[in-house]
Amino acid sequence: MAGRLGALSHPARIAILQHLAGVEACCCKEVVQQLDLAQSTVSQHLKVLVDAGLVRHTPESRRSRYEVDRKELAALGASLNGLLVTCCTAPEAASAD
């Protein structure tokens, strides 16, 4: 979970993930145009998101296609929710005794 949360620790990666969530799949160039970032910057951020398992990368001839791995993102959300429930509800339950 820490690696995936670390991948979300940069505002540009959040913006990239939000953009990808709104489309079926797209290439790096489309993300560059949407976010007005340098191609090399977007490529680096996409690599971090792919390495974290939050984005899938599919090479296609001259381009690579990127798409959100919704299953993995949902699993991260569930893990984070479980952590928050455990951390945030345990003290209240203990003090109620």
Evaluated on CA atoms 78, 88, 52, 3, the torsion sign reads negative
Could you identify the residue written with the tokens 């479980």? 82
Q: Total structural domains in the chain?
A: 1
Instruction: Check which CATH number belongs to the domain holding 9 and give it.
Output: 1.10.10.10
**What's the first-to-final CA gap in the chain, in angstroms?**
32
pTM summary value: 0.78
For residue 48, the cross-strand partners are none
Task: Kindly state the tokens that stand for 24.
Answer: 């079926």
User: How confident is the chain (97 residues) per 10-residue block, as mean pLDDT?
Assistant: 78 94 90 91 94 92 89 81 75 53
For residues 38 and 52, what is the distance between their CA atoms, to the nearest angstrom? 21
- Per the structure, the complete domain to which residue 64 belongs is given by 2-95
